[in-house]
Amino acid sequence: MQAYEFYAKPENGTITIPEKYKNLITDDVMVIILDKKPSKFNRDKADVRRKTDLLSHPTLKTKGWKFNREEANER
């Protein structure tokens, strides 16, 4: 799989492939759309999900665990 990255403004739901890529892209493609605008709602929802997952994990033992920032940054 080859990836090509470019910015485009959709017009009536259509994204135009730039000329320099048109000859390279000749088969079916997978399309992933990333909106350039940050979404506070999606970020907050993901943060809540991560916190909930972490807090509800039954085998996660943190009693007596110490976090050392310098040690973590060395990795």
pLDDT digits (tens, 9 = 90+) for 6-19: 989 899 999 999 99
Which residues fall within 8 angstroms of residue 8, CB to CB, at 6 or more apart?
A: 15, 16, 18
- Report the predicted TM-score, pTM, of the whole model to 2 decimal places: 0.43
Q: Which pLDDT value is given to residue 64?
A: 81
17-72: pLDDT as tens digits: 999 998 998 889 898 888 877 666 555 566 666 667 767 766 767 778 788 888 88
Count H helices and E strands in the chain, helices first.
Answer: 3, 0
* 35-43 LR contacts (CB < 8 Å, sep 24+): 36/7
**Residue 17 contacts residue 27 (beta carbons within 8 Å):** no
Which residue from 50, 12, 6, 71 is spatially nearest to 32, judged by alpha carbons?
Answer: 6
Give residue 36's pLDDT: 79
